[in-house]
Amino acid sequence: MKASAAKESVAAQPDLMHGAGLGLRRSMLNDLAQLTSDHIDFIEVAPENWIGVGGRFARRLREYTERFPLVCHGLSLSIGSPAPLDFDLLKQIKLFLDAHQVRCYSEHLSYCSDDGHLYDLLPIPFTEEAVHYVAGRIRQVQDFLGRRIAMENVSYYCAPQQEMREIDFINAVIAEADCDLLLDVNNIYVNSINHGYDPLDFLHRLPGDRAVYLHIAGHYQEAEDLRVDTHGSDVIAPVWRLLEEAYRRFGALPTLLERDFNIPPVADLLAEVDQIKSIQRRFLLSESQRAVPAF
């Protein structure tokens, strides 16, 4: 299927999602069982964590996907790897996406395999050659799945063989691949500290018209000039402010809270989800007030 056909197949689907979502981890299944659409608007899972899972875990996941719109954020596509694309994995992902009516499938703009899985997300060299290579692989994946996919701007800690700025690399890949963007606000902040750039300037240069939803998360401060993207702590004030700026720049896009470990009580998770909703409401209110003509 060509990219234009992939666009049409997604365009025929209902609205992707809206509001504020939460990443669903297997350890949360019981704690979040009583949540309704009053609490969260959508959920996200890594398909690799659920493909082939049966029994009670499969039933529990189905209970969630019947109550909430589902998006998927992959871990193992390894789009920048020198190894061939894993079409066996892609077949399984395609079946999973279709079985659960997944609204959006995203992956990391990085790689995690060569002869085998490396269990880490490694940076793709910011080079023109890598742009063409990665964009071609994204187009292959989109054609195979019959849908557009979104690539996430990732955190990274070194930039081997760098010939381009990170922002120029991301923009070039998305344009050439004709794919979407999963905009991770925390990753912008983390990278801005680690690599010494202005996070607002970076945010403003992203192709917001390609952004389908946002990620927000906490991180760890290793040193004054080093942040580690852990998803293991609360979101800090500068990242919340960057989220507000993203809404001003691109609109109140659906936004998902990621929390992978050190998971707090449900009430604390929902407090952060509610903060996303509050920022969205303030933005939408200010937009509606600006739209009212003065007499």
Residue 118: what pLDDT? 53
User: CA 37: distance to chain centroid?
Assistant: 21
pLDDT in tens, 8-49: 333 334 457 899 999 999 999 999 999 999 999 999 999 999
Closest-CA residue to 131 (of 165, 155, 107): 165
Residue 189: what pLDDT? 98
User: How many helices (H) and strands (E) in the chain?
Assistant: 9, 12
Residue 288: what pLDDT? 78
Which parts of the chain sit beneath pLDDT 50?
1-14, 113, 116
123 φ, ψ (degrees, to nearest 5)? -75, 140
Residue 173: what pLDDT? 98
Indicate if the alpha-carbon torsion angle 237, 239, 240, 242 is positive or negative. positive
Helix (H, G, I), strand (E, B), or coil: what is residue 125? coil
Helix (H, G, I), strand (E, B), or coil: what is residue 274? helix
Residue 115: what pLDDT? 54
- C-alpha triplet 92, 112, 22: angle, nearest 5°: 65
Q: How far apart are CA 254 and CA 73, in angstroms?
A: 14
Residue 192: what pLDDT? 97
Residue 54: what pLDDT? 92
13 φ, ψ (degrees, to nearest 5)? -80, 160
| Domains delineated in the chain | 3-291 (3.20.20.150)
81: left (phi over 0), alpha (psi -120 to 50) or beta: beta
Query: 234 is written with which tokens?
Result: 């609360």
